[in-house]
């Protein structure tokens, strides 16, 4: 039994009150209207929104992001007050409600968003989430496409925020779907694309056209819902708005978009490395791969050697194939293990190659990456280094669920070797 006015009773009553307020706040976020209940509200003279508050992971109380760390330090329900390195705001944001109908893949994308106003718009707009679901149906099988889905949702959320600045009565994309709002949508997209009225040039020429394409896709989601629910007014609004997009959107942006691209490319400096610098870098990477391979064979559990070998090998494969870092880094174990020798892939029409040419083709290993028409070619030393990396994955602690051959994919793989070989930048 607890004392009638003891501290333990007050502690449990606070928890009970916070849990009730939390349920109320979840309903407010789901409905998109109402006032949230918080532990401590900011100064009334300062304008604040629901994005400024997050939930304490211990007592369910909602506090401002600026005050959360102080509350967690003395929260009576926090049993790990001395534990450091916990990101309380991020943890509290992940506990904000996401609609039940959202799929697991879309939830993962939403949880990976930075905690800001844009992420709140994405989580709170049903049409935007539906559009995310449709993108995931198309790209969800490829983990490398998830950042693309996230970027498209991010762009559309920024468009909605810009429309809200023009018309405070619009709260969601559903409110935008009406022909009378077309001019506001057009103006918002123009603003996001960085249009300069003095020069008639866009800072981001292609953004406005892409926003129009994605907005029509969002309208299609609402149109499909209106057909299922037999809402004639909703269907007519969707069709009318799509007609306006087809008639006016391209006419507004196509000419200026093409001219802006031409103007932006004028007088741009294309930096081309000198042949001697490329040769110097290639030799350095080859020697670094050989040195790190010997070190890793002597000590297969050396994470430092494993990382250095990955970094040098990734840079050399990119340099040899003249590819982007993202293409080579997406090479998967299954794709590499299915590779074939060049001569084995020759068709009947290619049999007129000379013996020297056939031998030259056979000296490379061909790896086809899914989604890329041009394969990646590997020399003998490159393949030996890759085989060594694969054999050492378990010893250095690479997760078995990681499907990629090269775990080190960041663009910084270039910077370190470039500086070490003393090539000018």
Sign of CA dihedral 148, 152, 157, 162: positive
Query: Which of 313, 317, 320 is closest to 279 using CA atoms?
Result: 320
| Whole-angstrom distance, CA of residue 96 vs CA of residue 123 | 9
Task: Please check whether residue 270 lies inside any domain of the structure.
Answer: no
Q: How confident is the model at residue 88, as a pLDDT?
A: 59
Torsion of CA 73, 77, 81, 86, to 10 degrees: -80
Reported as a single tens digit per residue, the pLDDT across 313-335 is 888 888 888 776 667 777 888 88
| Whole-angstrom distance, CA of residue 348 vs CA of residue 335 | 25
Find out whether 164 and 185 touch, Cβ atoms under 8 Å: no
Task: Please check whether residue 34 lies inside any domain of the structure.
Answer: yes
| Whole-angstrom distance, CA of residue 140 vs CA of residue 134 | 9
For residue 180, the number of C-alpha atoms closer than 13 Å in the C-beta half-sphere is: 3
Together in a domain, 183 and 282 = no
Task: Please check whether residue 205 lies inside any domain of the structure.
Answer: yes
Burial class from Cβ neighbours inside 10 Å (0-12, 13-18, 19+) for residue 238 reads: buried
Query: Which of 167, 187, 250 is closest to 216 using CA atoms?
Result: 250
Together in a domain, 151 and 64 = no
Task: Please check whether residue 113 lies inside any domain of the structure.
Answer: yes
| Whole-angstrom distance, CA of residue 19 vs CA of residue 211 | 40
Last residue of a domain, one of 94, 112, 133: 94
pTM: 0.63
Task: Please check whether residue 425 lies inside any domain of the structure.
Answer: no
Reported as a single tens digit per residue, the pLDDT across 55-96 is 887 788 888 877 777 888 888 877 765 555 455 555 555 455
Task: Give the count of domains, the chain.
Answer: 3
Structural domain containing residue 412: 275-420
Last residue of a domain, one of 94, 112, 143: 94
Token pair, residue 273, equals 């490395």
b/e per residue, 7-36, with b = 16+ CB within 10 A? eeeeeeebbeebeebbeebeeebeeeeeeb
Together in a domain, 343 and 382 = yes
| Whole-angstrom distance, CA of residue 245 vs CA of residue 219 | 11
| Whole-angstrom distance, CA of residue 49 vs CA of residue 54 | 11
Task: Please check whether residue 250 lies inside any domain of the structure.
Answer: yes
Which string of DSSP letters, residue by residue, matches 88-105? HHHHHHHTS---TTS-HH
Token pair, residue 205, equals 């020429």
Q: Cβ neighbours of residue 164 under 8 Å, at least 6 residues apart?
A: 170, 171
Q: How confident is the model at residue 413, as a pLDDT?
A: 54
Token pair, residue 107, equals 């939830």
Together in a domain, 298 and 206 = no
Reported as a single tens digit per residue, the pLDDT across 174-205 is 888 889 999 999 999 988 888 777 877 777 87
Q: How confident is the model at residue 163, as a pLDDT?
A: 92
Of the chain, the percentage scoring pLDDT greater than 70 comes to: 76
Query: Which of 162, 167, 218 is closest to 195 using CA atoms?
Result: 162
| Whole-angstrom distance, CA of residue 215 vs CA of residue 189 | 10
Together in a domain, 405 and 370 = yes
Token pair, residue 344, equals 């084995």
Q: How confident is the model at residue 343, as a pLDDT?
A: 43
Together in a domain, 44 and 184 = no
Together in a domain, 394 and 292 = yes
Reported as a single tens digit per residue, the pLDDT across 105-149 is 787 787 777 777 888 788 878 888 888 888 888 887 777 788 888
End-to-end Cα spacing for the chain: 74
Together in a domain, 248 and 287 = no
Check pLDDT > 50 for residue 395. yes
Last residue of a domain, one of 265, 292, 311: 265
Together in a domain, 111 and 76 = no
Sign of CA dihedral 199, 203, 205, 210: negative
Task: Please check whether residue 2 lies inside any domain of the structure.
Answer: no
54 three-class SS: strand
Together in a domain, 124 and 230 = yes
Together in a domain, 148 and 245 = yes
Find out whether 248 and 254 touch, Cβ atoms under 8 Å: no
The residues pairing with 332 across neighbouring beta strands, listed in sequence order, are 404
Query: Which of 281, 312, 280, 317 is closest to 296 using CA atoms?
Result: 312
Together in a domain, 18 and 125 = no
Task: Please check whether residue 149 lies inside any domain of the structure.
Answer: yes
């Amino acid at each position: 039994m607890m004392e009638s006015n003891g501290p333990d009773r007050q502690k449990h009553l606070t928890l009970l009150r916070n849990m009730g307020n939390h349920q109320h706040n979840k309903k407010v976020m789901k409905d998109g209207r109402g006032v949230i209940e918080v532990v401590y509200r900011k100064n009334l003279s300062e304008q604040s929104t629901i994005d400024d508050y997050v939930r304490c992971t211990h007592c369910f109380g909602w506090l401002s992001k600026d005050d959360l760390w102080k509350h967690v330090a003395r929260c009576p329900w926090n049993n790990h007050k001395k534990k450091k390195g916990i990101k309380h705001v991020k943890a509290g944001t992940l506990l904000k409600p996401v609609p039940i109908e959202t799929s697991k893949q879309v939830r993962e994308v939403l949880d990976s968003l930075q905690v800001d106003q844009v992420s709140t718009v994405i989580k709170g707009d049903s049409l935007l989430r539906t559009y995310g679901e449709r993108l995931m149906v198309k790209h969800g099988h490829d983990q490398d496409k998830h950042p693309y889905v996230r970027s498209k949702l991010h762009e559309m959320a920024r468009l909605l925020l810009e429309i809200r600045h023009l018309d405070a009565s619009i709260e969601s994309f559903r409110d935008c779907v009406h022909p009378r709002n077309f001019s506001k949508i057009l103006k918002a997209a123009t603003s996001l694309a960085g249009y300069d009225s003095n020069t008639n040039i866009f800072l981001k020429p292609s953004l406005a056209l892409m926003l129009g394409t994605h907005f029509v896709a969002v309208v299609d989601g609402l149109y499909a819902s209106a057909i299922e629910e037999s809402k004639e007014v909703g269907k007519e609004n969707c069709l009318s708005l799509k007609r306006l997009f087809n008639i006016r959107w391209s006419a507004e942006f196509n000419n200026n978009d093409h001219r802006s691209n031409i103007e932006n490319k004028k007088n741009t400096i294309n930096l081309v490395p000198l042949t001697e610098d490329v040769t110097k870098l290639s030799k350095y990477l080859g020697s670094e791969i050989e040195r790190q391979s010997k070190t890793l064979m002597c000590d297969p559990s050396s994470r430092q050697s494993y990382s250095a070998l990955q970094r040098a090998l990734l840079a050399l494969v990119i340099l040899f194939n003249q590819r982007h870092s993202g293409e080579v880094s997406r090479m998967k174990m299954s794709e590499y293990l299915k590779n074939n020798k060049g001569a084995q892939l020759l068709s009947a029409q290619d049999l007129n190659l000379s013996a020297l040419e056939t031998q030259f083709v056979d000296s490379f290993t061909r790896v086809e990456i899914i989604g890329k028409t041009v394969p990646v070619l590997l020399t003998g030393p490159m393949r030996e280094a890759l085989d060594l990396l694969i054999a050492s994955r378990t010893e250095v602690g690479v997760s078995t669920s990681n499907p990629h051959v090269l775990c080190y994919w960041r663009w910084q793989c270039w910077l370190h070797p470039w500086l070490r070989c003393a090539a000018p930048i």
